[in-house]
Structure 1
Amino acid sequence: MDYVKDLRALVGHRPLILSGSVVLVINQKNELLLQHRNDGGWGLPGGLMELDESLEDTARREVKEETGLDIGDLRLLGVFSGPDYFFKVANGDEFYSVTAVFLSNDVKGKIQVDESESVEMQFFKLDSLPVGLTEEYRSYITPFIDQLIK
């Protein structure tokens, strides 16, 4: 199922409002999992909601698809939306993102990189996030750094 693809077939490149989820996956060393994306930037695992999903379902599915990890408990940290989250992608599609940011340290499995989306996955100390972390993802992480370090 690809809701956005089907929707784009109907509306073309016009701006849409799209919902999605990202997850701050924290390991036992209190390090954050980041995804080095094929476009060169670092980001959080996550993606857009499909039909018949909750935001939590989206978070778990996207993490599984992108990292191979299974997520248990999730804690909602915040929801980000508005003009700062307007995007125009290379193919001309425009959208306003409404993104739920979750936290989980209830993770099982071994990392398996989905090479169609990522170059690598790596855990980072919260006080030394990579230079290539995109502003979008940095905005999802920064408000919660103090909580995460505790």
Structure 2
Amino acid sequence: MEYFKFLRQYVGHQPIILPGSVVLILNKQNEILLQKRHDGGWGLPGGLMELGESLEDVARREVLEKTGLVINELHLLGVFSGPDYYIKLQNGDELYSVTAVFYTTNVSGDLVIDYTESETLQYFSLLNLPNELTNEYKSYIEPFLSQLIE
């Protein structure tokens, strides 16, 4: 059972802190890989931490699960937390996310879409990101745009 689901058995809809990781994956054309979710929004591949994992483990596991890609090298860009990362879900669950944002240009494997989690995966120019990129993910990408473009 996923850790957050285990916690929910005890706290119901009350706010909890959920750590996780996302990864900015850049190809040789300096394009970023984004995941289109079933709600229509675009975001970065990533997910929530399970017991015993490091934030790097989360990044590697979630990218493999969602994209089929193996991360060979990983660099921490920053950690995002605080009141701006409070979320209330449609089912009433409340959470504060603590998200480690990593980037890599060094992946191997073939892109494979997990259709249970994604509609599609697509690379985008850093200068032409989709309008449906959620505000949360914009906040993860925008502080690093100038670094990533260089």
TM-score (norm 2): 0.98
Greater mean deviation of Cα atoms: 96-105 or 1-10: 1-10
**Which residue matches 1:78?**
78
| CA deviations over 1:1-49 (Å, ceiling 9, x no partner) | 4111111111111000110000000011110000000111000000110
**Which residue matches 2:125?**
125
Runs of 4+ in 1 over 6 A off after TM superposition: none
Alignment of 1:41-80 (within 5 A): 41-80=41-80
Structure 2 Cα separation of the partners of residues 91 and 3 of structure 1: 18
Aligned-residue CA RMSD (Å) = 0.6
Structure 1 gaps, min length 5: none
Q: Does 1:36 align with 2:39?
A: no
C-alpha deviation, 1:84, in angstroms: 0.5
- Residue type matched to 1:37 in 2? R
C-alpha deviation, 1:54, in angstroms: 0.1
Structure 1 Cα separation of the partners of residues 90 and 110 of structure 2: 32
C-alpha deviation, 1:72, in angstroms: 1.3
Structure 2 Cα separation of the partners of residues 123 and 82 of structure 1: 29
Percent sequence identity is 64
Structure 2 Cα separation of the partners of residues 39 and 59 of structure 1: 22
TM-score (norm 1): 0.98
Alignment size in residue pairs? 150
C-alpha deviation, 1:117, in angstroms: 1.1
